[in-house]
Amino acid sequence: MKVRTVSNTTQAFIPLAAPNATLINISTGMVDFAPMPGMSSYIATKAATMEMVDYIAAENPSLRVFKVQPGVVSTEMNEGTSMKGQDDGMCI
What are the pLDDT digits (tens) for 50-69? 999 999 999 999 999 999 88
- How large is the average pLDDT for residues 69-92? 64
Which of 37, 39, 24 shows the shortest CA–CA distance to 69? Answer: 24
When pLDDT is cut at 50, 70 and 90, the band that residue 91 belongs to is very low
Q: Answer yes or no: are the C-beta atoms of 41 and 30 closer than 8 Å.
A: no
| Bigger pLDDT: 39 vs 17 | 17
Provide the pLDDT for residue 8: 95
Assigned domain for 19 exists = yes
Assigned domain for 53 exists = yes
Domain count along the chain: 1
The stretches of the chain forming alpha helices (DSSP H) are 2-16, 40-59
- How large is the average pLDDT for residues 42-50? 89
Helix (H) or strand (E) holding 85: none
Range of the domain at 55: 2-68
CB count in 10 Å sphere of residue 82: 8
pTM of the model: 0.74
